[in-house]
Structure 1
Amino acid sequence: MSDFGHSSAEKEARRTTPGRPWTPQEEPRQDALRRYLAAVASTASARSTEESEPAAGKERAEPSATAAHAPSAQVPVVLHVRDVMQVPAVSVPGDMPFLDVAHTLAREQLSAVPVVDGDDHVIGVVSESDLLAKAAVMVEPHRHGPVGRLRQHRLYEKSHGDTASTLMTFPPITVHPAERVADAAWTAAHARLKRLPVTDHRGRLVGVVSRRDLLRAMIRDDAEIRAQVESLVGQHLLDPRAVEVTVEKGVVTVAGRLDKALVPELLASVRDVDDVVDVIDETETD
């Protein structure tokens, strides 16, 4: 992971850090958020690199058969939205009354829900924020202050609606089942959305993917990271038992007695493993 990715993740995490002391559950959550944001930053960086490469007159070389089938080749598993999305997806029709939409969100414990037409095409998304604005208008129909009214004119006008289609936010931001999880995560982060409707090529609802689904797919736990690092150790050393590998919150510690010439290459390989935050070298060299 690049220094840019780490820096971007740390800055974003600091902005979300609460002023009060963290609970025991908060530190792991913040750590996961930092790793998630770093993964999104890495995806954005990779996109920029791909887009900056000159395409005119140059074709990308195909990998040779020998390289493709080499035993040491590590082919990363690319997850797609269809692998992590929730099916079936909860939705509401455009003519559903305001109170019924509120009851649906409460019953399903959702923060937002897609709004569909008669053919299941996603036409918008209605969220808790939309319903909260509607409730505020019901309590106080006439808002005070012309500046505030002008600044949030669209929200104010929309809140006078009584059905899902008049309260919803549109056009909806959606993703396709074949889209990569990393790209969907970038879309969710950029749009600051907790849930994304998943639609087919005709715009019909086929599922929903949440930010939590994307987070779990992108960030492996320490046990999975350790298993891959131990596999790498086995490729570099004749006796893998000479090295002890521990992983805590994505930080890999490598300990043991090794040939001095092998250490730099081994540590470099470990740093390239996905979701490794840092590598601590506690090896002793001969």
Structure 2
Amino acid sequence: MSRWNVADVMTIGAISVREDTPFKEIVDLLEAHAINAVPVVDGSDRVVGVVSSADLVPKIEFAGDGDQPRSFEGRHTRQARGKAQATAAGELMNAPAVTVTSTTSLVAAARAMEHDELKRLPVVDGSGRLIGMVTRRDLLKVFLRTDADIRREIVDEALKGVAGVQRSQLRVEVDDGVVTLLGEVEHGSLVPALIHRIERVDGVVDVVSHLSPA
């Protein structure tokens, strides 16, 4: 089965900053474009880090506190205190950046976002140059596939060549992404694996089985 990847949902092109971009300019960019993070690129447009609003807030949190750590502070607090003294992107950014390519699967992109608690990821080419961005909202575009398109992929690809399953013995219905399977399979033990296979079709919300053994 063909799977959707980042290229199918990403935004081509992206706002970026250089390592010497001033603090205030970063804030202006985030506000002007209604985004919460911006990639930092070098002179060749290669992504070297990311600055998020979370990296800017310590400037408020530790205002007037100085840069000397307290003995009771944990590592995270010490890092935040250090960023409170930063004045440019190179000092503020998180590096190395978590990135994806246009051929990264949506599953892999979603897992990267979840693992690192990120809402958006820079998309890079084979040389690490910035070519776009993908957000959590972008990933949800897969659920905009039409029911007819989802059904076509299930019937023509997902069910093709599955041992013990005769497509002529099955009826597939799709309503708002929910797939209902009706008919017979050779053995009841085939049902869980068949459901799992169909759940992997992009855009499927749920699978309801009314299958019975022949």
Q: Secondary structure at the match of 2:134?
A: strand
Match of 1:120 among 28, 35, 45: 45
Match of 1:172 among 93, 97, 108: 97
Q: Which has the higher helix share?
A: 1
1:82 aligned onto 2:11? no
1:281 aligned onto 2:203? no
Q: Which residue of 2 aligns with 1:197?
A: 122
Q: Which stretches in structure 2 are left out of the alignment for 5+ residues?
A: 160-165
1:247 aligned onto 2:175? yes
Superposed CA deviations along residues 8-41 of structure 1, whole A, max 9, x for unmatched, are xxxxxxxxxxxxxxxxxxxxxxxxxxxxxxxxxx
Q: Which residue of 2 aligns with 1:161?
A: 86
What amino acid is the match of 1:153?
R
Q: Which has the higher strand share?
A: 2
Percent identity reads: 32
TM-score by length of 2: 0.73
Q: Which residue of 1 aligns with 2:162?
A: none
Q: Which stretches in structure 1 are left out of the alignment for 5+ residues?
A: 1-75
Give matches, 1:127-138, under 5 Å.
127-138=52-63
Give matches, 1:161-240, under 5 Å.
161-217=86-142, 219=143, 223=147, 224-226=149-151, 228=153, 236-237=167-168
Q: Which residue of 2 aligns with 1:148?
A: 73
TM-score by length of 1: 0.57
Aligned-pair CA distance for 1:278: 3.6
Aligned equivalents of 2:101, 2:211: Cα separation in 1 = 45
For structure 1, which segment, 177-186 or 97-106, has the greater mean C-alpha deviation from structure 2 after superposition? 177-186
What amino acid is the match of 2:33?
E
Of structures 1 and 2, the one scoring higher in RCO (CA 8 A, sep 6+) is 2
CA RMSD, 1 decimal: 3.5
Q: Which residue of 2 aligns with 1:97?
A: 22
Aligned-pair CA distance for 1:90: 1.0
